[in-house]
Amino acid sequence: MAEITSPSRRALLTMIGKVGGTAAMYQAMTALAHAADSRFTGPPALGGARQGASVLVLGAGLAGMVAAYELTKAGYKVQILEYQNRPGGRNYSVRGGDKVVEIDGTTQNCGFAPGNYLNPGPWRIPHHHRTLLHYCKQFGVELEPFIQLNHNSFVHNSNAFGGKPQRYKELAVDFKGHVAELLGKALNAGALDQKVTKEDKEKLLEAMREWGVLDKDMAYSSNLKASDQRGFARAPGGGVEGVPLPSTVNGLVDVLSSHIWTQLNFFDSNVMQTTMFQPKGGMDMIGKGFARQVGKMIRYNTKVTRIAQDETGVTANWTDTATGGTGEAKADWCVCTIPLPVLSQLDVQIGAPLKAAIKAVPYGGQVKMGLEFRRRFWEEDDHIYGGHSFTDQAIGLISYPNHNYFGDGPAVLLGAFANDAGAYQLTGMTPAQRIEAALTQGAVFHPAQYRKEFMNGVSFPWSRIPWIMGCTSRWTDQSRATHYQNLVAMDGRFVLAGEHASYYGGWMEGSLLSGLDAITRLHQKALAA
Amino acid sequence: MLLFVAAMGKAQDQSGSSPGKVAIPAEGKKVYEQICQACHMADAKGSGSAGGIPALANNPRLADPKYPITMLQKGRGGMPWFTDLLTPAQMAAVVTYVRSHFNNYPDPVTEADVKKLATKPPVSEGCECTE
């Protein structure tokens, strides 16, 4: 009798993919407990383009460049028009000598020392953003760890602890301890006897004692057991005076007022979980990696003024912002990655549903700031190596550099990552006022050193950045329902791509997934035409 | 009134800081300076090169207060809604300020005017809670 072998998982998936398409394969992969964290199964295998077929790509950000790269591989002739004088779009790093020019002409000259930088846009990469990681590896972009969770950083809440920042580990352990103690009390009082069996009650009590580092009386108290997690008043030492002394735990009321669960939750969210990465030398290494592949196709300083299409192709009129010259670019198809706040004001020959969708998605305006200090006092004095100190002030947080630890000389930390009201407040200021606000607010964490060691700083107010006038797309449940499919659908020979055309808004992964999806559909339509 | 904007559960990158105690003042001028001025600029003349942000100064569209009120409540184009940052009273104050200070429409807009035009506010993806 012939032995029946089960197909290998890979063979099975390939078979399902052939029969049912990508969606079925993805579903099957998820069912096989694989790949549930990413849609990426490898770059698209587009196959041969029609002889001489061409695509015009508008925008040399990640969406545009991944589209250009894969389309070229498939045999298309590709040209990219880019408004700025560099590739990458929001994938960008500001270094010493760079200018930040705002929409009204306000100009900042970045004064950072060589090797220092601010990543004003994307700055951290989740380990499951596999499309981005794939291209980083392929293009030789070296990644290093991005320290996301640092137990030794600070949490500041204006209404807690008299406005004095606390170490994350102290608040996190105290919160856990008090919650465990309360649940233990509820269990012992019989309050949950209707909900749990006697056996599970015993297990829960054991769990609360261990997880909450409670004492023998099921109380969360100041002792060496709690100090093992939250830190000691006197750390363990050697020799005669080696014995450690316990730290004093905070009371429940103070811990609650700190809102520490916000940070606990933050670190639990899927896109914030460790391991996270950053490119060595600055985030723009990724844009530069793509540009090494497609740079020859890019026309820089090229402002698109009008986009028209008919049954034979697409025409974009442009103005050269350096020379003032004008011209037009023609191709069979067009992938447009121009940010929606800009695109919505252009003359584009498209149908009403797409036009309405383009006008339906506003952008959030965030602010990031880079502050350069004479020395790494956060490391030297406060023993913080990477990670974030959070605050409820406008700046949102300060974040410590993840490279060149223990280095001498100037270092740059992220002095603000402001959202919502805080971002509007800071954006409305002059650059000097922003730096002053960042110093005042950030000094709560390092009062003795912050102003003393400060050298210079640069702010990046996304709402005032002329080529985008915002940071990332903001969708609502309503706008998704009404406009999303219209936004991503091909309109004749024209298709949009970018983070705004994804469910991964504001992440580079969304830009890449959108770009790959757009060209896959474009290619199918081109072959069918 | 203390306004919290907790942006938990949003897929977008965010600071992870606690619900903002970034208080927005009640006075219309202050609301303009701390919120609107970010994009419409201190002189309310807007700005722009690649695209452009509309001027609020000398803007005949503001003759009808319903227009700015609706813009604040629903947003349009690049401009987001402000229902999750501003109270109806703050909206009334800032619309009154913009219409009278940067234009010649001195009749005040009231909180009731704003509430009358209230529609179901947009809800950002995830849980953007306002209390």
Distances in Å between the Cα of A299 and the Cα atoms of A41, A78, A148, A343, A395 are 31, 11, 37, 18, 37
Token pair, residue A401, equals: 């550099």
Contact residues, chain A, for B15 at CB < 8 Å: 388, 390, 396-397, 417-419
Contact residues, chain A, for B7 at CB < 8 Å: 419-420
How many Å lie between the alpha carbon of A175 and the closest alpha carbon of chain B?
A: 15
pTM: 0.91
A 189-248 residues with CB < 8 A to B: none
Reduced to 3 states, what is the DSSP secondary structure of residue A224? helix
pLDDT above 90 as % of chain A = 91
CA dihedral A166, A167, A168, A171 (to 10 degrees): -60
Interface contact B85-A420, CB threshold 8 A: yes
**Residue A275: pLDDT band by 50, 70, 90 thresholds?**
very high
pLDDT computed for residue B1 by the predictor: 33
pLDDT digits (tens, 9 = 90+) for A353-383: 999 999 999 999 899 999 999 999 999 999 9
Question: What is the per-residue burial (b if ≥16 Cβ within 10 Å, else e) of A255-266?
Answer: beebbbbbbeeb
pLDDT digits (tens, 9 = 90+) for A36-76: 677 898 999 998 999 999 999 999 999 999 999 999 999 99
Token pair, residue A29, equals: 């992969």
**Residue A14: pLDDT band by 50, 70, 90 thresholds?**
low
Task: Tell me if chain A has a CB within 8 Å of the CB of B128.
Answer: no
CA distance A372 to A117: 9
- What is the residue-averaged pLDDT of chain B? 84
Listed residue (A419, A451, A448) closest to A437, CA to CA: A451
Contact residues, chain B, for A468 at CB < 8 Å: 50
Report CA torsion sign: A113, A118, A124, A130: negative
pLDDT of A4 higher than 50: no
CA distance A398 to A387: 9
CA distance A400 to A23: 41
Report CA torsion sign: A14, A20, A23, A29: negative
pLDDT computed for residue A97 by the predictor: 98
pLDDT of A471 higher than 80: yes
pLDDT of B9 higher than 70: no
Token pair, residue A414, equals: 């992220």
Task: Tell me if chain A has a CB within 8 Å of the CB of B77.
Answer: yes
Choose, out of B3, B4, B13, B72, the residue to mutate when testing the contact with A (most A CBs < 10 Å): B13
How many Å lie between the alpha carbon of B4 and the closest alpha carbon of chain A?
A: 10
Task: Tell me if chain B has a CB within 8 Å of the CB of A43.
Answer: no
pLDDT of A9 higher than 80: no
pLDDT computed for residue A28 by the predictor: 53
pLDDT computed for residue B14 by the predictor: 84
How many Å lie between the alpha carbon of A303 and the closest alpha carbon of chain B?
A: 7
pLDDT computed for residue B52 by the predictor: 78
Rounded average pLDDT over A130-153:
98
CA distance A92 to A88: 6
Residues 6 or more apart in contact with residue A136 via CB below 8 angstroms: A143, A279, A286, A289
Contact residues, chain B, for A83 at CB < 8 Å: 50
pLDDT digits (tens, 9 = 90+) for A224-269: 999 999 999 999 999 999 999 999 999 999 999 999 999 999 999 9
pLDDT of A168 higher than 70: yes
**Residue B43: pLDDT band by 50, 70, 90 thresholds?**
very high
How many Å lie between the alpha carbon of A265 and the closest alpha carbon of chain B?
A: 8
Rounded average pLDDT over A93-119:
97
Place of tokens 């352990």: A173
Task: Tell me if chain B has a CB within 8 Å of the CB of A405.
Answer: no
Interface contact B38-A461, CB threshold 8 A: yes
Interface contact A394-B22, CB threshold 8 A: yes
- Asked whether A289 and A60 are in contact (CB, 8 A), the reply is no
Rounded average pLDDT over A401-425:
97
Listed residue (A515, A521, A506) closest to A125, CA to CA: A506
Task: Tell me if chain B has a CB within 8 Å of the CB of A347.
Answer: no
pLDDT computed for residue B3 by the predictor: 37
How many Å lie between the alpha carbon of A393 and the closest alpha carbon of chain B?
A: 6
Token pair, residue A288, equals: 């530069």
SS (H, E, C) A234-283: ECCCCHHHCCCEECCCCCHHHHHHCCHHHHHHHHHCHHHCCCEEEECCCC
pLDDT of A31 higher than 80: no
Contact residues, chain A, for B125 at CB < 8 Å: 475-477, 480, 505
Interface contact A474-B49, CB threshold 8 A: no
CA distance B5 to B110: 24
Interface contact B123-A424, CB threshold 8 A: no
How many Å lie between the alpha carbon of B105 and the closest alpha carbon of chain A?
A: 24
**Residue B127: pLDDT band by 50, 70, 90 thresholds?**
very low
Contact residues, chain B, for A387 at CB < 8 Å: none
Q: What are the backbone dihedrals phi and psi of residue B117, each rounded to the nearest 5 degrees, phi first?
A: -95, 0
Contact residues, chain A, for B17 at CB < 8 Å: 262, 390-392, 396-397
Interface contact A262-B22, CB threshold 8 A: no
CA distance A100 to B127: 34
**Residue A2: pLDDT band by 50, 70, 90 thresholds?**
very low
- Asked whether A289 and A135 are in contact (CB, 8 A), the reply is yes
Residue B52's region, left for phi above 0, alpha for psi from -120 to 50, else beta, is left
Task: Tell me if chain B has a CB within 8 Å of the CB of A155.
Answer: yes
CA distance A504 to A480: 13
CA distance A75 to A511: 22
CA distance B34 to A410: 32
pLDDT of B10 higher than 70: no
Contact residues, chain A, for B37 at CB < 8 Å: 428
- Asked whether A503 and A512 are in contact (CB, 8 A), the reply is no
How many C-beta neighbours within 10 Å does residue B19 have? 18
pLDDT of A500 higher than 90: yes
Residue type, A465: I
CA distance A284 to A98: 13
Residues 6 or more apart in contact with residue A352 via CB below 8 angstroms: none
pLDDT of B7 higher than 60: no
How many C-beta neighbours within 10 Å does residue A114 have? 10
Listed residue (A47, A77, A54, A70) closest to A131, CA to CA: A70
pLDDT computed for residue A15 by the predictor: 52
Of B3, B78, B123, the CB nearest to A470: B78
pLDDT computed for residue B38 by the predictor: 95
Size of interface A-B (CB pairs under 8 A): 175
Contact residues, chain A, for B16 at CB < 8 Å: 262-263, 266-267, 272, 388, 390, 396-397
Give the DSSP letter string of A50-73: PTT-EEEEE--BHHHHHHHHHHHH
pLDDT computed for residue A27 by the predictor: 57
Place of tokens 């004692």: A209
pLDDT of A5 higher than 70: no
Of B16, B35, B124, the CB nearest to A390: B16
The DSSP secondary-structure symbol of B124 reads B
Higher pLDDT, A38 or A101: A101
Rounded average pLDDT over A397-426:
97
Q: Which long-range contacts (CB under 8 A, 24 or more apart) does A385-389 make?
A: A385/A147, A385/A150, A386/A145, A386/A146, A386/A147, A386/A150, A387/A147, A387/A148, A387/A149, A387/A150, A387/A152, A387/A153, A388/A148, A388/A150, A388/A153, A388/B15, A388/B16, A389/A153, A389/A154, A389/A155, A389/A156, A389/A165, A389/A445
Choose, out of A166, A266, A424, the residue to mutate when testing the contact with B (most B CBs < 10 Å): A424
Task: Provide the β-strand partners of residue A281.
Answer: none
pLDDT of B4 higher than 50: no
pLDDT digits (tens, 9 = 90+) for B71-96: 999 988 888 999 989 999 999 999 99
pLDDT of A284 higher than 80: yes
pLDDT computed for residue A529 by the predictor: 82
Task: Mean pLDDT check: name the lowest of A95-99, A196-200, A283-287, B1-5.
Answer: B1-5
pLDDT digits (tens, 9 = 90+) for A334-358: 999 999 999 999 999 999 999 999 9
CA nearest A463 in B: which residue? B39
